[in-house]
Structure 1
Amino acid sequence: MGRHLGDFPLEKLRDYRPALENKPRDFEAFWSEQKNDLKNERTKVETELREYPVPSVEVLDIVFTSWDGTPLNGMLVKPKSMAECPVIICFPGYTGSCGLPVDYLKWVSVGFAVYVFDVRGQGSSPDFGNYQNGSRIPGWMLLGIHQPENYYFTNIYRDILMQLKWIRSQDSPIIPTKLGVMGSSQGGGLALSAAGLDGEMDFVMADWPFLAHFERALDVALSGPYMEIVNYFKWNDPQYSTFDQVIRTLGYIDSVHFCESITCQTLMAAGLEDAITPPSTVFAAYNHIQSANKNIEVYPQFTHELNPFHDEKKLEFLSRQLENNPHDTSGIGKQQLFDL
């Protein structure tokens, strides 16, 4: 059932729940401090309505100025003329952007509004973070790797905390009756981390998440962003003298370390031939999630790729989120919003 690319067989994956040996002892205190530091930060958000050819859909372009002045580009795609409805925050994949409104119409078609922002330094968003070390390896995985408090992904998590605060505020263009997160690859890892960090999500959808179970990923991944770290050691630290320091920093942002705080409904997916986010790293995250209502879909011959079959599963999952929603008086989810 699939070649597994040298990873564990499916029977072992189902039970793979590694001990969190690299979770920093001050993990909770570290993130409590980050939240406290952001408590009084104010965001500047500019929105502009975009002309869009689908008459029942509204698209707003957003520039979200985050905690350090970095302007993050994003958009809101929502059912037109609705002041409140369920909301999904969608996180892009590594090096990706928030894309085009058409990418989110399937979610809007069942009654959800979608927020999506380019991650700092990726897509069309700049990065105003200051880093003291560079690397011969291109990309973002090593930026600030020796300083957990200013590591690249620590700063992204700060951005997410600020975005969540704004989305729940009276300044947001739409009131979320339910709030969930979703994403694939980097987006999947950010969705898991956001859900655990926030603690109040209604649902999570995470496909083959990146940023999960670094200690194993560095051993078994064959391509993709994990290799930036692998090659850092080859070319910058061939005898691994800074390994403990690097793993400690990664421990603060490893999505597996947030999964024990996830108690909401969760849908995940794994491809058994995925060499970028190996199946064992995905199951490590899944098996640490505490939700009593969780499911992982397995695709034996899929690699790290778009999966329309799983999109169908996600539509079913989202439709169930609308059931018994006391705020849903519009009939959305019971009828088609528009014809594609």
Structure 2
Amino acid sequence: MALSLNGLKNFTNEVSTLGRQVGDFPLEELRNYRPNLGNKPDDFDAFWAEQKMKMNGYHPHVKIVWRDYAVPSVEVADITFTSWDNTPLTGILVKPKGVEKCQVILSFHGYTGNRGLAADFLKWTTLGIAVFAFDVRGQGESPDFSNYRNGSRIPGWMLLGIQDHENYYYTNVYRDILLQLNWLQSEDSPVGPTKLGVMGSSQGGGLALVAAGLEKNIDFCIADWPFIAHFERALDIALSGPYMEIVNYFKWNDPEYKTYDKVIKTLGYIDSVHFCDWITCPTLMAIGLEDATTPSSTVFAAFNHLKAKDKTIEVYPQFMHEFNPFHEEKKVEFLMKQLEM
């Protein structure tokens, strides 16, 4: 059962009997959950304006190798994208054959994932869309050449540079995205975008929101159950997944929370909710009410802060943090509307 936000109010009583809403607000409260952004740094806008200016000064070295691919109607290329600090990010391009200009999607993968396989994107090429996807630095097959000052007993990427927003892991990831978006819109790109969209689930959903906030030329955004959202709430109620790296950091590295202010300040610079005020393009989001990895209140916090007038959130009462085939149909419908606009 999927409900658009506009229809949620009429179905609140029905849905409440289906979705257990594990550990989070009731659906009616979620609809109106728009928290104050008390952890948004005063220099947030200036900081990211500076980062954009810095990335505008880089010209990435990009190597493109075309494959022989089994499907004759598409072309597939392997990409090595050398980013601002010389980190080589592995990527892939899947495009309709013979097309030089078309709608383009930059796709982002989930935490611990990778850029994906060509087969993952064939359904979008049937709509005439070209898809670029890159490994997030340090994940997939790509290294991370940045040096981070602090260590931790907790595995994962969430704590790399956690007390230094200038050189925090996700700050560096966002710099990569800025550079990728610049390149995709340049004459060097093998496909000229007639429209440019972003897409992702979980970590990828959070990165899609950030990209849509940072780049004014993004025409549409799809963000499924986005991660990196509303940390103040997430650290209190998430029960699994990457947020727990930070929770366990305090347990094992700082049980008295003496570094909390530094940590939460760093996270304030990369919280995807803080970018939502900049997003005006059509946006499709989704959440399962039993998601304990990206709790529904954190996702609604992002949705309710979007400036976009054309926005929809699909609610799946009994879904957790998992692939949702029903929502794939919603995404096809959404993208067809973008093709027609």
Give TM-score scaled by structure 1 length. Answer: 0.95
Counterpart pick for 2:66 among 49, 58, 67: 49
Q: C-alpha separation between the residues in 2 aligned to 1:307 and 1:243? A: 35
2:335 partner SS: helix
TM-superposed deviation, 1:43: 0.4
**Residues 1:193 and 2:199 aligned together:** no
Q: What corresponds to 1:233 in structure 2?
A: 250
Offset at residue 198 of structure 1 (A): 1.1
Alpha-carbon distance in 1 for matches of 2:144, 2:49: 24
Local SS of the residue matching 1:5: coil
Provide the rounded CA distance (Å) in 2 between the counterparts of 1:115 and 1:37: 23
**Residue 157 in 1 paired to residue 170 in 2?**
no
Instruction: Determine the structure 2 residue equivalent to 1:83.
Output: 100
Q: What is the aligned partner in structure 2 of residue 257 from structure 1? A: 274
Q: CA deviation at 1:149?
A: 0.5
- Which whole-Å CA distance do the structure 1 matches of 2:314 and 2:297 have between them? 14
Take 1:14 and 1:200, find their aligned partners in 2: how far apart are those partners? 29
| Structure 2 residue aligned with 1:116 | 133
Size of the aligned set, in residue pairs, is 324
Aligned to 1:323: 340
Shift of 1:199: 2.1
Residue of 174, 185, 190 corresponding to 1:173: 190
On the 8 A contact 2:151/2:160 being kept in 1, the answer is yes
In structure 2, distance between residues paired with 1:29 and 1:290: 19
Q: Identity over aligned residues, as a percent?
A: 70
Structure 1: 5+ residue stretches without partners: 325-340
Task: Work out whether 1:71 is the aligned partner of 2:88.
Answer: yes
Shift, 1:202, TM fit: 0.3
- 1:6, 1:191 → 2: CA distance? 26
Q: Tell me which residue corresponds to 1:27.
A: 44
Q: Which residue of 2 aligns with 1:96?
A: 113
- C-alpha distance in 1 between matches for 2:285 and 2:72: 33
Instruction: Give distance in 2, aligned partners of 1:283 and 1:61.
Output: 36
* 1:13 equivalenced with 2:42 (yes/no): no
Offset at residue 94 of structure 1 (A):
0.2
Question: Does 2:132 correspond to 1:132?
Answer: no
Deviations, residues 232-289 of structure 1 (Å, cap 9, x unaligned): 0000000101111100000000000000100000000000000000000000000000
Partner of 2:122 in structure 1?
105
Across the aligned residues of Structure 1 and Structure 2, the Cα RMSD in angstroms comes to 0.6
Give the C-alpha shift of residue 111 in structure 1. 1.2
Distance 1:266 1:41 in 2: 29
1:279 corresponds to which residue?
A: 296
1:33, distance to aligned residue in structure 2 (A): 1.3
Distance 1:130 1:180 in 2: 31
- Distance in 1 (alpha carbons) for counterparts of 2:47 and 2:338: 33
**Alignment partner of 2:80: what SS?**
strand
1:179 counterpart SS class? strand
Amino acid at match of 1:165: N
User: 5+ unaligned residues in a row in structure 2: which ranges?
Assistant: 1-15
Number of the residue aligned with 2:308: 291
Q: Which residue identity is paired with 1:292? A: K
Deviations along 1:119-160, one digit per CA (max 9) or x if unpaired, are 000000000001111110000000001110000000000000
The one of 239, 246, 253 aligned to 1:222: 239
Could you tell me how far apart the structure 2 residues matched to 1:41 and 1:254 are? Answer: 25
Which position in structure 2 is the counterpart of 1:332? none
1:4 is paired with a residue whose SS is coil
How high is the TM-score relative to the length of structure 2?
Answer: 0.94
Aligned mates of 1:11, 1:50 — CA distance in 2? 50
- Aligned partner letter, 1:106: K
Shift of 1:303: 0.2
2:56–2:182 contact (8 Å) kept in structure 1 = no
Alpha-carbon shift at residue 5 of structure 1 (Å): 1.0
CA distances 1:292-340 after superposition (whole Å, capped 9, x unpaired): 100000000000000010000000000111114xxxxxxxxxxxxxxxx
2:274 alignment partner AA? H
The letter for the 1-side match of 2:118 is P
In the alignment, the residues of structure 1 paired with residue 66 and residue 55 of structure 2 have an alpha-carbon distance, to the nearest angstrom, of 29
